[in-house]
Amino acid sequence: MFPGGQQPDLSQLMKQAQQMQQQLAAAQQELAATEVTGTAGGNLVSATMTGDGDLTALTIAPAAVDPDDLETLQDLVVAAVRDAKRAADELTASRMGPLAGGLGGPGGGLGLPGL
């Protein structure tokens, strides 16, 4: 039973679900087309990644290359990729968060308990 004993309007629910699906697809396309950059070592190493997590570029400044200390360079690369991933995660949360709120939760858009 639904709150207040009212049955939901199924055609309205279907319209809302279809709109949310379209918004979700558009947000996913936008994330795939948006790039973020992470850096390490005072910009000695930078990693560029799409909002959906694909690494698209890695730039290493010549000053970061020391043949006698490859471990530091490796650490800088890992740190730059992690920084880019953090930025991509933040972008995803900012773009997808409002859509997820419409799936249920407090004031959810579908009006179904648990959705």
* pLDDT confidence of residue 4: 61
* pLDDT confidence of residue 113: 46
Long-range Cβ contacts of 40-43 (<8 Å, 24+ apart): 40/75, 40/76, 40/77, 40/79, 40/80, 40/83, 41/76, 41/79, 41/80
Cα-based angle 88, 109, 1 (whole degrees, multiple of 5): 135
pLDDT tens track for 17-70? 888 888 888 888 888 899 999 999 999 999 999 988 899 999 999 999 999 999
pTM of the model as a whole: 0.69
